[in-house]
Amino acid sequence: MSGSFALSVWLTIAALALLFAVVALVYGNPVREAAAVQPPRPAAYGGGATLLRGTPAPEAASAATTSSGRSDMVGAAARDVDLATELAKVRIENAALRQSTELLRGQIDALSERVGKIESHFSEMTGSIGSPSALTSEANALRSAMPNFDDLVPPDSGSQGEAAYTQFGMELGAYGDLTTLKTAWSDLVRQHPALFEGLDGLATIRDRGGRTELLLIAGPFRNAAEAAERCGKAEASGLKCLPAFYLGQQLSMH
């Protein structure tokens, strides 16, 4: 009897399992069906259109992606062009600055050279002139030893008073004797009449290395600037000239 009861229980359980299997096949899995019934999630694309899941994306989305890529490429190209333009401007400005610097350096070098020439002229002038008192004492000491000095015409009182205000002249060279100096002055006046018009010649004594020389001085000028300007014209004519003090004995050309 116990065996029949156990068999009945097993048959009942098998029948219930078969029933559940049939129901599952007919009506499906309730959990799976619930998941299938859930509403699809919306997918937003360009243009504000909402598409259900499983619907293929419109061609507008791919077109928008392509357009965005092209815009990025155009923007990058524009930035490259702007950068190249700025670089070209910087190179042009650097070249102009370099040219200005070289021009300024050349002007500074030329100015330094001119200043050096002016300093050398003034150093030679001051070295060859000496003090007026020393020149006067040398003239008094050597006048008796040089017979040719009798041909010199002493300046009058009017010229002495004028010399106090016009003490600048042009040094035109050094000569060994008075005759040679006077001949040189006559030749200069004859060859360059416009340059020496209105000027008188003087003979000034200078002792250099124990050797006595006579300097030819032309003038007078009111200031050193006028003497230097006339010296520049003389040098342009091929003559050697230095600004000097207008001191000495006036030449007699008769």
Q: How far apart are CA 174 and CA 124, in angstroms?
A: 13
State the pLDDT at residue 51. 45
State the pLDDT at residue 69. 61
Query: Who's near 224: CB < 8 A, 6+ residues apart?
Result: 168, 243
Q: What is the pLDDT of residues 196-248, one digit of tens each?
A: 999 999 999 988 888 889 999 999 998 989 999 999 999 999 999 999 999 99
Q: How many CB atoms lie within 10 A of CB 182?
A: 21
Q: How far apart are CA 214 and CA 173, in angstroms?
A: 8
State the pLDDT at residue 150. 46
Q: What is the pLDDT of residues 182-201, one digit of tens each?
A: 999 999 999 999 999 999 99
State the pLDDT at residue 102. 66
Query: Who's near 58: CB < 8 A, 6+ residues apart?
Result: 45, 49, 51
**pLDDT of 153 over the 80 cut:** no
Per-residue pLDDT averaged across 1-10, rounded?
Answer: 71
State the pLDDT at residue 66. 59
* Weakest-pLDDT range from 12-26, 32-46, 135-149, 208-222: 32-46
Contact assessment for residue 139 and residue 197, using Cβ atoms and an 8 Å cutoff = no
State the pLDDT at residue 140. 62
Residue 162 burial (10 A CB sphere; 0-12, 13-18, 19+):
middle
State the pLDDT at residue 200. 94
Contact assessment for residue 173 and residue 240, using Cβ atoms and an 8 Å cutoff = yes
Q: How confident is the model at residue 172 (pLDDT cuts 50, 70, 90)?
A: very high
Q: How many CB atoms lie within 10 A of CB 247?
A: 21
CATH of 130-250, one of 3.30.70.1070, 2.70.70.10, 3.40.190.10, 1.20.1560.10: 3.30.70.1070
pLDDT greater at residue 38 or residue 250: 250
Q: What is the pLDDT of residues 34-87, one digit of tens each?
A: 544 455 554 444 444 444 455 554 454 455 555 566 666 767 777 877 887 887
Q: Which tokens belong to 16?
A: 């219930």
Query: Who's near 208: CB < 8 A, 6+ residues apart?
Result: none
Return the residue matching tokens 């416009």: 194
State the pLDDT at residue 214. 93
Q: What is the pLDDT of residues 101-136, one digit of tens each?
A: 766 776 787 777 777 777 777 666 655 555 555 556
pLDDT greater at residue 96 or residue 83: 83
| 3-class DSSP state of 117 | helix
State the pLDDT at residue 47. 44
